[in-house]
Structures are given as structure tokens and as C-alpha cells.
Amino acid sequence: MTAEARSLVREPTVTDELIHLAEGILVKLSGIGPRRAGEAAKNLLENGATALLSWGCAGALVPTLSPGSLVLPSSVIDADQSCYSSDPTWHGRLLNRLKGCVDLYQGPLAESSTVLRSSAEKRILFERTGAMAVDMESGAVARVAQGAHAPFMAVRAIADSADMAIPQSLVGAINEFGELNLLRLLKGLIRQPFELFAMIRLGWNFRTAQLTLAKVARLAGTNLLLPR
């Protein structure tokens, strides 16, 4: 999402353009969901990328993870239960650089094609996959990387804990790039005003996750320790 990209890219992000960073690094704002993530990954490869990184936030599936925890998954499990391994060299470099600096976990990351709004939905996915966390994009990026025989890595900071419900008012008020439609949000809160407190809590948690991502970017450098 646009907000996730700000932890990695200082200049304004444009949805249809590639952002060029130092050392040949390319950034593409994919938007939410596996279809968009897969298209963005293919576009990066078409423009010369030799490795793919999935960057952003995730939801916890186990109570061990709290907002701001960092997941460097050793593998990603997609919606079809296929498993994709992270590049071991890249994973090891990031692990060694970040260990002791952030609350760090290496367990599997699961893909979901929809937003998991309740703790019950998260528990079901955990029981099916054994994954520690969930997002909607990393599985698609991993599939594209494997098809291209390109190194893959995911860096995901936890924004919502395993016991936290995602307010429906918020889900219905953001577009595919995570940008908020204030009028839709207000209409949703009028119908479900009890969601306001959960929304405030989620906002703080998301900010905590953003701070973790920004710290990772500082520690790992512009190229995020990409193996050459």
C-alpha cells in the first residue's frame, strides 16, 4: 500500500510508475491482493529485476507476535497450500543484520486472498497452515519469483495481533492501494459506531509496524542485503 511504501521510499509514490532507488533497486506499488502483487512482480522482472522482495505489513496468526514484531519468513504458504522457500542466502544476511535490533521471527507466512477480519478466521488459517502470520501479497510474489528462478524474500511487520478484529467500516473505506475514503468511513461508523475504538487501536498498531519497517530499511541499507 501507499503507506507501506513510505517506510522504504521517501519521495511520493505513483501507482503506475517504477521508483528507482540507489544501487539499481526498483520499487513498484502493487496495491492490495494477490492479483495485483503478481502483476507488479512480473512488471519488475520485465524491467530488469533479478530478485523479488515482498515488503509491508502482515497480521499475526499466533499470540506470540505483537504489533511491530518483524517476520522474516523462511517460507511462504499460498492459498493452494503450495510452499515457497525464501532465498537462504538473502534470508541469512537479513537475519544476521537485524537479530537483536528488532522483535524478530522466522516462521512461515501464509497467503490469504481476502482480509481476515476476525480472530476466528485467523485461527482457522493457523490450524490449516501452521503459519505465524498472514498477508495477501507475498504468496503471489513468491510464485512469480519461483517461475522466473529469481531469489525471493519477504519482510513483513505485524500490524494486527491474532486476537484483533479488523473493523468492517475501515475495510469498506479503503481502496486497492490502502488510501482512505473519509466519507465512506464516516458512513460506516454511523452504522457501526462501536468500531471506532478498534479503528483507533489499529491505527496505532499500523504506525508501530511502520516504524519497524523504517528501522529495517535503515539497518539493511538501500539494497536490503540483496545477494549478488
Pairwise CA distance, residues 158 & 161, whole Å = 7
Pairwise CA distance, residues 204 & 140, whole Å = 28
Q: Is residue 192 part of a domain?
A: yes
Amino acid at 154: A
Question: pLDDT confidence of 29, banded at 50, 70, 90?
Answer: confident
pLDDT at 207 over 80: yes
Pairwise CA distance, residues 119 & 60, whole Å = 10
The DSSP code sequence of 30-98 is --SSHHHHHHHHHHHHHTT-SSEEEEEEEEESSTT--TT-EE--SEEE-TTS-EEEPPHHHHHHHHHHH
φ and ψ at residue 159, rounded to 5 degrees: -110, -30
Q: What is the pLDDT of residues 97-143, one digit of tens each?
A: 999 999 999 999 999 988 888 899 999 999 999 999 999 999 999 99
C-alpha cell of residue 63: 499470540
Strands 133-135 and 52-60: antiparallel
DSSP 133: E
Where is 143: in which H helix or E strand? helix 138-147
Q: Is residue 213 part of a domain?
A: yes
Task: Tally the domains of the chain.
Answer: 1
Question: pLDDT confidence of 174, banded at 50, 70, 90?
Answer: low
Q: Is residue 226 part of a domain?
A: no
Q: Is residue 116 part of a domain?
A: yes
Q: What is the pLDDT of residues 158-172, one digit of tens each?
A: 999 999 877 676 666
Please answer whether residues 210 and 3 qualify as being in contact, where contact means their C-beta atoms are separated by less than 8 angstroms: yes
Segment 54-78 mean pLDDT? 96
Strand partners, 135: 111
Q: How many CA atoms lie within 13 A of 192 on its CB side?
A: 15
Pairwise CA distance, residues 219 & 225, whole Å = 10
φ and ψ at residue 52, rounded to 5 degrees: -125, 135
Looking at per-residue confidence, does 199 or 161 come out higher?
A: 161
**Where residue 171 sits, what CATH number does that domain have?**
3.40.50.1580
Q: Is residue 55 part of a domain?
A: yes
Count of residues in the chain: 228
Q: What value does the mean pLDDT of the chain take?
A: 88
Q: Is residue 23 part of a domain?
A: yes
Q: What is the pLDDT of residues 71-80, one digit of tens each?
A: 999 999 998 9
> Collapsing DSSP states into helix, strand and coil, what is residue 227?
coil
Q: Which domain holds residue 20?
A: 2-220
Q: Is residue 77 part of a domain?
A: yes
